[in-house]
Structure 1
Amino acid sequence: MFSPEHDAAIHGEAHQLRSEYVIRIDGVVAARPKETENPNLPTGMIEINVTKLTILNASLPLPFQLDEQVGENTRLQYRYLDLRRPQMQRNIMFRHRVMQSMRRHLDESGFIEVETPMLTRSTPEGARDYLVPSRVNPGQFYALPQSPQLFKQLLMVSGYDRYFQITRCFRDEDLRADRQPEFTQVDLEMSFVEPDDVMNLTEGVVARAFSDALGIEIPHPIPRITYAEAMDKYGLDAPDVRIPLELTDLTEIMKGSSFKVFNQAANLTGRGNEHGLVKALKIPGGASLTRKQIDEFTEFVGIYGAKGLAYIKINGDWSEEKWQSPIVKFLSDDEKRAIAEATGAQTGDIVFFGADKASVVNEALGRLRVKIGKELGIISDTPFAFVWVTDFPLLDWDNEARRNVAVHHPFTAPNPEDIQHLDQADGDSVEHPLEKVRSLAYDLVLNGIEVGGGSIRIHSPELQKKMLGLLDIDDEEAEAKFGFLLSALNYGAPPHGGLALGLDRLVTLMLGLDSIREVIAFPKTQKATCVLTEAPSTVDLPQLRELHIRTTAKPKTAE
């Protein structure tokens, strides 16, 4: 409070103060006059009558007011100002509390925190590596880690049986709306464990974070479903279980259908997800949907490769010809009866259909299920719905490359019950034995978003070599890329497994925010650039020469 009654000179000096000036004051704390009390402010009952004022640093006029809504690019360009906003202060401090809660829980559970290298060798783990040239080793490169995967396995070999690290990871991925080229994960690894041990430990970490940071108790044990069940019921391996809608498989019913679209899909054969599928999605009360809404849903599933979206409005019993749809005339009475029984459709419902390759049908109807559930309010009021997805396939078939790829990563252990199928590989045939092999992998899903994933690792050098061979990595390539791991596994490696939690995603969901950029202090844009520092940038030719690098890229010019 600058008052001419208390000190006219100080009051005069105060007229030069502007928003965001940094000042020092001396003064007397006093009760506010009754008419100026504000119980909604932390200092609403007091004031400080200033007796001395020192301006420590002035501020230029702000490019935006801190209580003003501005575009994200402007916010990121002046991130140091944006971070002053109360909302951003809350987000970053909340993130800190979550990290410290997890760190305390892991420490109390016997884990030790170990830092693993940021400069390592390039290894194929799915996404592209960020490469770092070595000046002292001309023509050679480090890679920034996509995860500490191999080093944490080496720590298990080294006898540090409970490791964790809150670490930065880097992936040069194709651009997506809510991905960052660098992100933070809570990484942990344990020796002599089964999947249940890792999942139970993780549940404790997450529950502690919710309790400490939000004051919310998360029910646990967290429900568990298999990958096969998730794909069958929800079409996605990260299902939002708040939405009670489920998919119904009609493939067997439609194998003899006279409706060509259903018949062809039902009889399509192929490796992996290339086989055909016919599925239905019943929406209770959906018969009231307008043609415009159905057209919008049809356009939506097209994003995921669906060529259309068949539907039937259930306006009464099928035998009374009260089903409204362009496809009803192609269905036999037996097929209509089977659809009614399988979906449980009642008067007033609508049933959507997908018929194509399994990958297309599951993705399209799975995404449609979530969209409709949210838009029509067919969703529980549970704010946080966790589920574990287990028993993932060990391998998937890349039809373009004509080879197997690891569903998680090449170091994931197969389920011992299925391991005999690893020796039954026989080329590209349909119903390949390798498709029967489940892995000891598990993902933690929150509200339909994967927030963590892990597995039991391969600790046998022979089995690890076999796994690499199934991925078309021959002995020479395996030795060049993973020789240090294969060597370590020969020296008494214990059984071990672990998991990584995506800290950015988890904190975003805990705060109910839409973008992970809201919980990262200095994030990149959707184009993987930093508008604050203007990174990435070109470097001088002398610096490139010192690194023995020549670039063939042409400089970007202003359009």
Structure 2
Amino acid sequence: MRTQFCGLIDESLIGQTVTLCGWVNTNRVQSHTVFTDLRDHEGVAQIVVDSDMGELFQIAKELALESCVQVTGTVRARQAVNDKIRTGKVEVLAEKIEVLNKAEPLPFHHHENPGEDTRLKYRYLDLRSPDMQRKMRTRTKLVSALRHWLDARGFQDIETPILTKATPEGARDFLVPARMHEGEFYALPQSPQLFKQILMMAGFDRYYQIARCFRDEALRADRQLEFTQLDMEFAWVGERDVQDTVEDMIRDIFRDVVDVELAAEFPRMTYAEAMRRYGSDKPDLRIALELMDVAELVKDSEFTVFTAAANDPDGRVAALRIPGGASLSRKQIDEYAAHAAKYGAKGLAYVKLDEQGVVNSPIAKFFSEESFVALLDAVGVRNGDIAFFGAGAYNKVSDFMGALRLKAGKDFNLIADGWAPLWITDFPMFEWDEEEGRFVALHHPFTAPAVDSIDDLRANAKTAVSRGYDMVLNGNEIGGGSIRIHNSAMQSAVFELLGIGAEEAEGKFGFLLDALKYGAPPHGGIAFGIDRIAALMAGTESIRDVIAFPKTTGAQCLMTGAPSPIPDAQLAEVHVQVRETKAKD
């Protein structure tokens, strides 16, 4: 139907007859000429129809936006050159226009900003926009480049099951009723974790998969119910074997896909250092702000919020200095406090020093003049600055002070240009869940501890370090992995520490425990978030912009109306009955 793409016609075609197909992007009707921008996935071409062309001129005048149109005409040089587009030096003088499918009045046009719900409801219109076409093509180039890189290095692309056994990895499973096994269910995989480990035991050595994964958890800008990851596993490896290989891969991929040169060697930081300095296990190093521990300086103050945390072995008092932050009004300071509250803060103290050195602080009265000056000097507060202080449990303070650091970085334009990759290593093996009264795995239950002895692990479970590692880029965790447990006794011991008894472990993970008994090699791997990497490459903050048909934050597909009720007869086939829940008062 076409001889060229709209966005690829150029001066080499001047004088030639071409046929183009596309959507009407804009239609500018003047007294003697109609200028139509015809758009396809490669870009736009200007179509010209003069008033002396009779019926053709009338057809051109009535072209509705987003109608499908076929145009045949002659390429000629454009009098008014448009340097902003690739085809800006030429235009097509139309000889024939056929409307293949006229569009009805549009709910929105991609030149507008209708809001995300409208964009998702009419996703087919949204995806036609040049910006979304660019973002989706970036994703396509990313996946293609990854496959090419891995295939060239001997990795085998092996598919693992989508209908599998429920083996919880930290989030809720999506369950699928098994019609042929009444009362039993499959689960959609949260990741191919156990299958890829078994592939290493089966002798495949290097595996990868562009894997679709499913987690029934709260949605946000960087999280979806269903997502895509590059899943990788290696046999006979230690941490650096995996890290060095995938670091080379990420460097090459960014160079090939978006012409970005990442650091020749990614810096490394332990989990403990990252939490201490940045309040996050995925710090954005483009922001120079750092947290400072001040417990020693405030432990003898009269401010009980500070003294309680400072004298608690599991507590923390941290400060964040923001250069130029004295410009914040009281209302803005309250907004910072509200932001910190979202991450667990019960309050937020501050010290503001105006340009003349005048102190504004609700906590100054709790300190002697000497100790207060010492505190400000230690934190580095200067005229025109503000310092925020957080106190409480170590992890909670780290979380909300880290969130404040990111907010301040954005609000005060403190985010440097460029790319800041790093490795986070030496994660805790476990963290204590107060509500459940037991340990939970920080990565997942199959991560190897950095000890060889089961007795050592049991004796030091609270402080045990794992052999896990994450790759972080510009404040985003883009990949996470670990060396896996390859010994059945150690795996059973970890299950036991996680409160998974022998009977439960056998029921959920018996096949893994059996496989580990028959010569399982040391192995490890990593998984990269395709959606997150594509979003970074495309320059967008939301992974929804690089997923063709994403869900809303309310876990809905506005275009199709999913999820939706299922007829009782269809539910009966899979032995399921919906139980009505009583409305809460």
Moved more, 58-67 or 448-457: 58-67
Question: Which residue in the other structure is 1:283 paired with?
Answer: 322
The answer to whether the Cα contact below 8 Å between 1:102 and 1:208 also exists between their aligned partners in 2 is no
User: 2: distance between equivalents of 1:501 and 1:177?
Assistant: 17
Question: Which residue in the other structure is 1:529 paired with?
Answer: 556
1:393 pairs, out of 428, 441, 446, with 428
Question: Which residue in the other structure is 1:357 paired with?
Answer: 393
2:64 pairs, out of 7, 18, 21, with 18
Question: Which residue in the other structure is 1:467 paired with?
Answer: 494
Question: Aligned pairs, how many?
Answer: 537
1:150-229 matches, within 5 Å, as 150-229=194-273
| Structure 1 residue 249: Cα displacement | 1.4
Question: Which residue in the other structure is 1:247 paired with?
Answer: 291
Residues 48 and 337 (structure 1), Cα distance of their counterparts in 2 relative to 1, 3 Å cut: closer
Residues 16 and 231 (structure 1), Cα distance of their counterparts in 2 relative to 1, 3 Å cut: closer
User: 2: distance between equivalents of 1:51 and 1:313?
Assistant: 71
Question: Which residue in the other structure is 2:26 paired with?
Answer: none
Task: Tell whether 2:277 aligns with 1:233.
Answer: yes
| Structure 1 residue 471: Cα displacement | 0.6
| Structure 1 residue 18: Cα displacement | 2.9
User: 1: distance between equivalents of 2:373 and 2:54?
Assistant: 90
Question: Which residue in the other structure is 1:272 paired with?
Answer: none
| Structure 1 residue 324: Cα displacement | 4.4
User: 2: distance between equivalents of 1:296 and 1:50?
Assistant: 58
Question: Which residue in the other structure is 1:429 paired with?
Answer: none
2:458 pairs, out of 423, 439, 450, with 423
User: 1: distance between equivalents of 2:370 and 2:53?
Assistant: 94
The answer to whether the Cα contact below 8 Å between 2:320 and 2:401 also exists between their aligned partners in 1 is yes
Residues 449 and 12 (structure 1), Cα distance of their counterparts in 2 relative to 1, 3 Å cut: closer
User: 1: distance between equivalents of 2:536 and 2:554?
Assistant: 23
Question: Which residue in the other structure is 2:301 paired with?
Answer: 257
User: 2: distance between equivalents of 1:414 and 1:531?
Assistant: 44
User: Which AA in structure 1 matches 2:76?
Assistant: A
The Cα RMSD (Å) is 2.6
Question: Which residue in the other structure is 1:494 paired with?
Answer: 521
| CA deviation map 1:125-154 (0-9, x unaligned) | 111011111111111111110001001101
1:442-453 matches, within 5 Å, as 442-453=469-480
| Structure 1 residue 278: Cα displacement | 1.4
Structure 2 residue runs without a partner (length 5+):
1-46
User: 2: distance between equivalents of 1:45 and 1:348?
Assistant: 53
Task: Tell whether 2:144 aligns with 1:134.
Answer: no
User: 1: distance between equivalents of 2:533 and 2:335?
Assistant: 31
- Give the alignment's TM-score, normalised by structure 2: 0.86
The answer to whether the Cα contact below 8 Å between 2:276 and 2:291 also exists between their aligned partners in 1 is yes
Question: Which residue in the other structure is 2:352 paired with?
Answer: 313
SS at match of 2:519: coil
| CA deviation map 1:270-290 (0-9, x unaligned) | xxxxx2211122223434443
The answer to whether the Cα contact below 8 Å between 1:418 and 1:438 also exists between their aligned partners in 2 is no
Higher relative contact order (CA 8 A, sep 6+): 1
Question: Which residue in the other structure is 2:461 paired with?
Answer: 434
Residues 225 and 291 (structure 1), Cα distance of their counterparts in 2 relative to 1, 3 Å cut: same
| CA deviation map 1:319-363 (0-9, x unaligned) | xx9754332232246643652454244444333211112222111
Question: Which residue in the other structure is 1:105 paired with?
Answer: 149
1:284-299 matches, within 5 Å, as 284-299=323-338
Identical columns (%):
50
Question: Which residue in the other structure is 1:413 paired with?
Answer: 448
| Structure 1 residue 466: Cα displacement | 0.5
The answer to whether the Cα contact below 8 Å between 2:322 and 2:387 also exists between their aligned partners in 1 is yes
The answer to whether the Cα contact below 8 Å between 2:48 and 2:91 also exists between their aligned partners in 1 is no
| Structure 1 residue 404: Cα displacement | 0.6
- Give the alignment's TM-score, normalised by structure 1: 0.89
Question: Which residue in the other structure is 1:519 paired with?
Answer: 546
Question: Which residue in the other structure is 1:430 paired with?
Answer: none
User: Which AA in structure 2 matches 1:376?
Assistant: F
1:47-62 matches, within 5 Å, as 47-62=91-106
The answer to whether the Cα contact below 8 Å between 1:6 and 1:49 also exists between their aligned partners in 2 is no
SS at match of 1:506: helix
| Structure 1 residue 378: Cα displacement | 2.9
User: 2: distance between equivalents of 1:451 and 1:62?
Assistant: 37
| Structure 1 residue 302: Cα displacement | 2.0
User: Which AA in structure 1 matches 2:491?
Assistant: Q
The answer to whether the Cα contact below 8 Å between 1:210 and 1:216 also exists between their aligned partners in 2 is yes
| Structure 1 residue 9: Cα displacement | 5.3
User: Which AA in structure 1 matches 2:442?
Assistant: V
Residues 13 and 359 (structure 1), Cα distance of their counterparts in 2 relative to 1, 3 Å cut: closer
| Structure 1 residue 5: Cα displacement | 8.6
User: 2: distance between equivalents of 1:337 and 1:493?
Assistant: 60
Structure 1 residue runs without a partner (length 5+):
270-274, 425-432
| Structure 1 residue 190: Cα displacement | 0.7
User: 1: distance between equivalents of 2:234 and 2:101?
Assistant: 51
